[in-house]
Structure 1
Amino acid sequence: MLHKANLSEIDEIIELKLSMFRESGHMDLLADDAKQRIRQKYIQLYQNDEAAHFLIKDSGKIIACCGGFIKSDIPYSFYKQSYYGFIGDVYTIPQERTRGLATDLTKATIAWLKSKGVWTIRLLASEQGKPIYQKMGFVNTDEMALALE
C-alpha cells in the first residue's frame, strides 16, 4: 500500500538509497560518513517540510520508494519562483520491478510537490528510468557535466 513516509522510516529509506548506489556502481562517490549525513539532512528536510518520501511496503518492508525534495539553489534562487522540485531516491527492489510501482510513487511525489506550489520538477534518470519519465512528460534538458580530476 502506497503511503507517505514518516521520520521513523528514514533509516530504512536510507538503506534503499545505499542499495541504489551499490547497484549503480556509485558507492565510491559517497563519503565515509554518508549514511549519518544523509540521515541528518533528511530529518532536517522533513522537519522543514521540504522533503517527503512515498513508499510501498510488503510484509512490513519497503519494496519501493520515491522522494521529493524542494530545492533553491543558483541560478533558480533568482527566478520568479525561487525553488523547484527534485525527484530522487527512486528505487524498487529487483524482484518487484516491472509492476509500475516506481510510476505510482513518482505520480504521488509529483502531486506532493505540486501541492507545495512547485512549477518545475527536475530529476536524474537512469537509462532504464528514462522511458518511464518520458511517458510522464519529462524531457531531456540542456544540462551538461564535466568531471574534473
Structure 2
Amino acid sequence: MIEARRAGPADATELMRLRKVMLDSMRDRPSPDGEWQDVGRAILQRQLADPAGTLAAFVVDRPEASGLAACVVGAVDQRLPNPSDPTGLRGYVYSVATDPAYRRRGYSRACMTALIAWYAHRGIRAVDLRASRDGEPLYASLGFRRTDDPAMRLIVSPPA
C-alpha cells in the first residue's frame, strides 16, 4: 500500500517543482521560470507551517532518491452558506502532480485519498477541482463528477 504523508514547509521547493510539471503538462510549451515560483514557495512555507490552517499538501516521496514523486495541494475556502451547503465551507484542489518518471503507480491516488480524508475530518462536504483530460479518470474513480455550473473568469487589470 502506498502511503502519502502530510507535507511541511521543507517540501515547498519540491511542491513548486511539481506544480510546474503539472502546468507544463497542460500547455503547448513549458511555463517560464520566474518570480511566481519564489512567491509560491513562500506561500507554501508559511501556510504549511500551520497544521490547523486552511491549506494542506500530501506527498509521496521518491522511493529511491530524495525529493517528491507526487503531490496534491488543497485548501478550504469559506463561502457564504446556502440551503444545500449550510456551512459555506468548500475544498479546492490546486495542484495534483506526479513526476513523469513515477506515473501510473498510484501515487496521485494516494495523495488525493489523503487530501479527501483531511477534508472529511474538517467537515468539508464539497470539493472542487479543474481536471485535465489525463487526470479526469482518477478523479471520477474517487467520486468527482462534472457540474452543470458554467465557469467564467475575469482578469482584472491593475489601476493605471
What is the TM-score normalised by the length of structure 1? 0.84
Q: Which residue of structure 2 lines up, in the alignment, with residue 12 of structure 1?
A: 14
| Residue identity (%) | 23
| Distance in 2 (alpha carbons) for counterparts of 1:28 and 1:92 | 16
Distance 1:27 1:121, change over 3 A: farther
Distance 1:33 1:27, change over 3 A: farther
Which one-letter code corresponds to 2:10 in the other structure? S
Deviation at 1:126, TM superposition (A): 0.6
- Aligned CA RMSD, in angstroms, stands at 2.6
Q: Which residue of structure 1 lines up, in the alignment, with residue 55 of structure 2?
A: 51
Query: What SS does the aligned partner of 1:71 have?
Result: strand
| Distance in 2 (alpha carbons) for counterparts of 1:56 and 1:92 | 9
Unaligned regions of 5+ residues in structure 2, if any? 156-160
Distance 1:148 1:6, change over 3 A: closer
Query: What SS does the aligned partner of 1:77 have?
Result: coil
CA offsets per residue over residues 75-110 of structure 1, 9 Å max, x none? Answer: x32432122111221101112111111111100110
Which one-letter code corresponds to 2:96 in the other structure? V
| Distance in 2 (alpha carbons) for counterparts of 1:40 and 1:27 | 26
Instruction: Report whether the alignment pairs 1:77 with 2:80.
Output: yes
**Which structure's CA Rg is the greater one?**
2
Unaligned regions of 5+ residues in structure 1, if any? none
Report runs of 4+ in structure 1 exceeding 6 Å deviation: 26-31
What is the TM-score normalised by the length of structure 2? 0.78
Distance 1:15 1:31, change over 3 A: closer
Which one-letter code corresponds to 1:2 in the other structure? A
Deviation at 1:28, TM superposition (A): 8.4
Distance 1:29 1:148, change over 3 A: farther
Count of aligned pairs between the two proteins:
146
